Structure 1
C-alpha cells in the first residue's frame, strides 16, 4: 500500500508564526509607555485593513434618511421599527426600545446579534414559535429585552448578512444567513464584513445622537457570538462606545478561528500582521470591558480565552493600575451562549462611576 502524504499543516502554521511579526504587539507600548500614539496608529491601520476607513469616507455626507414604519407599546416600554441608510441603496432595519418609566434621555445599549436566521427578532423577543422562545430564553439571548427592562434605551438591529439584511438567494432557501457570500464579495474590493458591520453600528450611533430620548454620552454595546465580535470591533474602532460587553467571541486567533471551523465573517486578511485579539482589546482600554464566556464553549476554547484575557489585563494595568476592575472575564458554567448574570451589574457600575476613559484622556 502506498503511504498517503497529506499537507503538513503543523509545519505550515509554524512557518507563518515564525515569519510574522505583529506590528502592534502591545509589548511595544508596554516598553515605551506611549499608549495613546500606539492606539491611534493601530486604530487607523485596523480601519484601513477592514475597509472601514474607505467606507466611512465615501458615506461621510450621506443622509441617514430615517423612516419609521411601526410603533408598538408593551408593558414598560415602546418599540419603534425604523430604517436608516448605511450606504447608497442599503438600509439598516432596527428596533428602538424606549422605557416608559423614568426620565430620559436614557443611556443607550446597542445589541448586535449572532448567527441566528431571525436576527434582531430574537433579541427583542419577537418569536415565531414556542420552541424558538424556549431556545432563546434558555440561552438568555433576549438581550434587547433585558436592556430595556434595566431602564436603558436599546437599538436592536439586523446585522449585515441576516434576516432583513440577508440576500434573497439565502433567505428564500432558508439558509441561516449570507455571511459567506457577502464576505467573498467584500474581500474582492478590499472590504470585510467586520468593517461593514462596524460601519453600520456607527451609522446607528449617528442616528441615536440626534434622538431626544437617547443619551449617547453613556453608551453600551453587547451581543453574543457574532454579535460579540461586532461589539468588540465596534468598541475598538469607535471611541464613542462607553462600555463594551462581548460574549462568546474573545480568544486568541490561533486558538479559535485558526483552530476550529468558523464562519468566514470572522476573518480579516492580514490581521496577524497587525495584532492578535488581545492586542485589539488594547484599543478599547481603558474603557470598561467585560468578556463573557462559557467554560464549555467549543468554538472559542476557554483555555485560549483565558490566555487572551491575561494579556488584556496587562494592558489595562499598564495604563493605570487603578483600572483593573475595568477589565473583567466572567465565566459561565455552560457552552456557547449569553450569560446575563454579570452583564447588567457591570454596566450599572461603570455607566454611573465614570471610570476608565475620562481619567485616561486627562492623564499627561
Structure 2
C-alpha cells in the first residue's frame, strides 16, 4: 500500500507521452535527428574544454607473439587523465595502412581481459570471459585493434578503490556520482575518451583513418553505441550484449550507475539513440539467455532501428544475430561482417 511502484510507473508513462508528443510535433526524421543529437550531447555533459589537449602518445611496451604484435601505449585525454591502451595487429599486414577497430570492453578487469590476459598480465588460458577471443579474431582478419582502458576499470581505478584484492573491482559509482554533481556524466566522459581514441588511431601510420569501426560489449556497448551516434568518423558499429530498451533492461534490475542518463526518457528510448548511427551499418549481437538484456526486447529494439533505417532506404544495414548463449560475445557472424563493412 505504501510502495511507490505506481508513482514510478506514472512517471515513466508521462516521460513516454512527452517523448511521443515531441516525435509527432517534430516534423521529419532529419529534423528530429538534429534535435536528438543536440539533446544527447547536452545530457552527456560538456567535455569540449579538453578536446584540444595534446594526446602526446608513446609506446610503453611491445610484445612479438606467434602471429600478432601487441603494443601497450599511453595517451592523454585531459590534464590528469592518461589512458593506457593495447594495440593488437597481425604480423602478416605490417608495412601498410589497414582498417582499424576501436574495441571497448565491458565490466571486468579491463583492457587486459579483452586482449586475453589475466589481471596480472599473464596469458588467460582458463578463466572464462564474456569477451572471448574477439581482439585476436579481428586482428587475424587484418584489423589494427585499439583496446583502451575505460576510465573506472583495471589500471584506471580511483586510488581509494585499489588494493582490495578483487580484480573485477571498479570505480564506476564514485566516478559517476562525482561527475553528476559536477554537471557531467560518466557515460559522457567515456564517450569523449572514445573520440580521442579515434584521434589516436587516425594518427597512426599503420591505420587507414577513413576505415575505422567500433565494437563494444555490455557497458562498452553503451559507450560504443553513443560514440557511433555522435562521431561520424566511425564507419560501422557492432554492439554486443547491450541493445535493448531502457525500461526492459536498465530499469528492470539494479545496474551500474554509469548507465543512467539524466532525463533521457523524456526525449529518447535506447533504440532511438542507436538510430542516430543510421545510415551507417550496424550489427547487433545478443544471447538468447542474456539475463541483463532480455532477447525479446532486443527484437523490439531492432524493429525500431529497422524503421529508422527504412527512412534511408537501407534497413538491410541493420543486422541482428541472436545466438544460443548468455551475456557474452559469440562473433559467429559479426567478425566477418566487420571485415566486409569497415
* TM-score normalized with structure 2 length: 0.92
Aligned CA-pair RMSD: 2.2
Q: Which position in structure 2 is the counterpart of 1:7? A: 3
Q: Distance in 2 between matches of 1:107 and 1:242?
A: 10
Partner residue, 1:254? 247
The 5-angstrom pairing of residues 187-226 of structure 1 reads: 187-226=180-219
1:136–1:142: 8 Å Cα contact kept in structure 2?
A: no
Match of 2:259 in 1: 266
Count of aligned pairs between the two proteins: 338
- The alignment status of 1:87 with 2:87, answered yes or no, reads no
Counterpart residue number, 2:107: 115
Counterpart of 1:229 (choices 215, 222, 235) is 222
Unaligned runs of 5+ in 1: 352-364
Whether the 8 Å contact between 2:22 and 2:267 is mirrored in structure 1 is no
- Trace 1:37-116 onto structure 2 (pairs within 5 A): 37-51=31-45, 54-55=46-47, 57-102=48-93, 104-116=96-108
Q: How many angstroms apart in 1 are the aligned matches of 2:55 and 2:18?
A: 36
Deviations 1:118-170 (A, max 9, x none): 21111112235899533446x45232222111110010111111011111222
- Residue 296 of structure 1 is matched in structure 2 by 289
Q: In structure 1, how many angstroms separate the alpha carbons of the residues matched to 2:274 and 2:315?
A: 14
Show the counterpart of 1:241.
Answer: 234
SS at match of 2:221: helix
2: CA distance between counterparts of 1:229 and 1:249? 7
Question: Residues 213 and 23 of structure 1: is their aligned pair in 2 closer, same or farther, counting only changes over 3 Å?
Answer: farther
Q: Give the secondary structure class of the aligned counterpart of 1:242.
A: strand
The verdict on how the C-alpha distance between 1:216 and 1:30 changes in structure 2, with shifts beyond 3 A counting, is farther
Q: Is the 8 A contact 1:30 1:315 kept in 2?
A: no
Instruction: Give 1:354's aligned residue.
Output: none
TM-score relative to the length of structure 1? 0.87
Measured after TM superposition, the shift of residue 24 of structure 1 is 6.3
Aligned equivalents of 2:24, 2:10: Cα separation in 1: 26
Gap runs ≥5 in structure 2: none
Secondary structure in 2 aligned to 1:18?
helix
SS at match of 1:249: coil
Partner of residue 336 from structure 2, selected from 333, 345, 350:
345
- Residues of 2 paired with 1:48 and 1:94: CA distance? 28
Give 1:22 deviation, angstroms: 6.8
User: In structure 2, do the counterparts of structure 1 residues 319 and 77 end up closer, same or farther at CA, with 3 Å as the change threshold?
Assistant: same
